[in-house]
C-alpha cells in the first residue's frame, strides 16, 4: 500500500533551499565551456551532431580531398545525408571522427549545421584509430598510395610508430612495396594538390614515375607534365621516357645529386650541382616558428664561417 504524502516541515524546506542556492552559486561561477550541455550520445547509435562539436581525427588515413569530389558530395548531402560518418566518444563525451572528414567538409559546403554520425566503440590506441580509419577507406577503395605516404610520415613524426617496418607489419605490406610508397611523401605540397584533383593518376606506378620525374625536372616542369598526362592520357612508361630523355640532356650540362631526408620536426631536400659549384637546400614541414628562426640563424652562421 502506497504511503500518504507527508508535507515537509519548515526546517526541511529551509535546508533544501540552502542546498539549491549553494549549487546555483557554484554553477554560476563555472566557465561557459564547463557548463556545455551533455547530449548523452550512446555507443551503437546514430545522431545528427552539430559540426561545431565534432573533433577531427589527426591520424585520418585519407589525406587527399578532391574539390570536385567534395562539391559533388555536398550537392548530394544538401538533399539527404544517407551514409553516416564513423566516430567514437572520448573521456569527456566529445564526438571524435574516425572516418568521414570528406563528408564533414561537404556538409560545411552545403550549409549544413550538423553531420550524421554513427558512434562506434572507441579505438583502444592511437594506432588502432589510424588502422580503423584506413580500413574504412580501403573498403570503399578511396585509399591511394599518396594518401598512405603522407599519413605514414605524420605517424612517424608524432611517434605513433617508431619505424617504417612497424607500419609495414601492421598493414601487412611487403617492405619493398612499402618503401616505394613511402618515398612518394617527398612530393611537394603544390604538386600533391594538383594530383588530388586527378584520382585517375593516383596509382603507385604512375605516382612513382611522377616522383622520379620531379626529382629530375623540378616543380614547374612536373606541374606542366601532370596536366599533359591528364589531357593526353600519357602512360607511366611515357613519363619514364620523358624523364630519361631529360636526364640525357641534363647530363651534358650539370647533374644534381639529390638527398631527401626526413626528421622528427621537418624534412629537407639537398641538391648538389658539383659542376657548377652550386648547392640548393630546401627545408620544409617545420611547425615550430622558433625552430625556423634557429635554423635560419645557424645556416647564416655556417655560411659565413665557410665562405668568408
Q: Is residue 22 part of a domain?
A: no
pLDDT, tens digit, 9 for 90 and up, residues 257-298: 666 777 778 778 787 776 667 888 888 888 787 888 888 888
Question: Of 88, 107, 142, which residue constitutes the final position of a domain?
Answer: 142
For residues 102-119, give the mean pLDDT.
Answer: 91
pLDDT at 69 over 80: no
pLDDT, tens digit, 9 for 90 and up, residues 23-67: 333 333 333 333 333 468 999 999 999 999 999 999 999 999 877
Distance CA 134, CA 293 (A): 36
Into how many domains does the chain fold?
Answer: 4
| DSSP 3-state of 113 | coil
Specify whether 198 is located in the same domain as 175. no
Q: Could you tell me if 118 and 46 are in contact, meaning their C-beta atoms sit under 8 angstroms apart?
A: yes
| DSSP 3-state of 117 | strand
Write down the pLDDT at residue 149: 97
Domain that holds residue 159: 144-186
Tally the C-alpha atoms within 13 A of residue 305's C-alpha that lie toward its C-beta.
6
What percent of the chain is predicted at pLDDT more than 70?
81
Distance CA 159, CA 80 (A): 40
Q: Kindly tell me the burial class for residue 5, based on how many C-beta atoms sit within 10 Å of its own C-beta (0-12, 13-18, 19 or more).
A: exposed
Q: Report the chain's mean pLDDT, rounded to a whole number.
A: 83
Specify whether 53 is located in the same domain as 130. yes
Specify whether 133 is located in the same domain as 54. yes
pLDDT at 251 over 70: no
Chain centroid, CA 80 distance in Å: 26
Specify whether 57 is located in the same domain as 67. yes
Grid coordinates representing 287? 611547425
Amino acid at each position: 500500500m502506497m504511503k500518504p504524502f507527508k508535507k515537509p516541515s519548515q526546517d526541511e524546506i529551509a535546508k533544501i533551499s540552502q542546498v539549491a542556492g549553494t549549487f546555483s552559486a557554484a554553477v554560476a561561477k563555472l566557465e561557459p565551456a564547463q557548463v556545455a550541455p551533455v547530449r548523452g550520445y550512446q555507443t551503437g547509435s546514430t545522431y545528427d551532431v552539430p559540426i561545431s562539436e565534432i573533433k577531427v581525427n589527426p591520424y585520418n588515413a585519407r589525406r587527399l580531398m578532391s574539390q570536385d569530389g567534395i562539391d559533388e558530395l555536398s550537392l548530394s548531402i544538401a538533399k539527404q545525408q544517407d551514409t553516416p560518418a564513423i566516430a567514437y566518444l572520448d573521456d569527456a563525451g566529445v564526438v571524435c571522427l574516425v572516418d568521414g572528414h570528406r563528408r564533414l567538409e561537404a556538409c560545411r559546403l552545403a550549409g549544413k549545421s550538423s553531420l550524421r554520425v554513427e558512434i562506434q566503440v572507441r579505438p583502444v590506441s592511437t594506432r588502432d584509430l589510424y588502422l580503423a580509419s584506413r580500413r574504412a577507406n580501403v573498403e570503399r577503395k578511396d585509399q591511394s598510395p599518396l594518401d598512405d605516404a603522407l599519413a605514414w610520415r605524420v605517424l612517424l613524426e608524432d611517434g605513433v610508430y617508431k619505424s617504417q617496418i612497424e607500419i609495414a607489419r601492421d598493414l601487412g605490406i611487403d617492405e619493398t612495396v612499402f618503401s616505394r610508397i613511402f618515398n612518394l611523401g617527398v612530393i611537394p605540397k603544390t604538386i600533391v594538390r594538383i594530383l588530388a584533383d586527378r584520382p585517375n593518376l593516383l596509382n603507385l606506378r604512375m605516382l612513382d614515375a611522377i616522383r622520379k620525374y620531379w626529382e629530375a625536372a623540378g616543380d614547374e616542369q612536373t606541374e606542366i607534365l601532370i596536366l599533359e598526362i591528364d589531357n593526353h592520357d600519357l602512360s607511366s612508361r611515357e613519363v619514364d621516357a620523358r624523364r630519361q630523355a631529360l636526364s640525357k640532356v641534363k647530363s651534358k650540362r650539370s647533374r644534381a645529386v639529390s638527398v631527401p631526408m626526413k626528421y622528427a620536426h621537418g624534412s629537407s631536400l639537398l641538391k648538389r650541382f658539383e659542376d657548377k659549384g652550386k648547392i640548393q637546400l630546401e627545408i620544409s614541414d617545420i611547425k615550430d616558428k622558433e625552430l625556423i628562426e634557429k635554423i635560419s640563424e645557424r645556416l647564416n652562421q655556417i655560411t659565413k664561417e665557410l665562405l668568408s
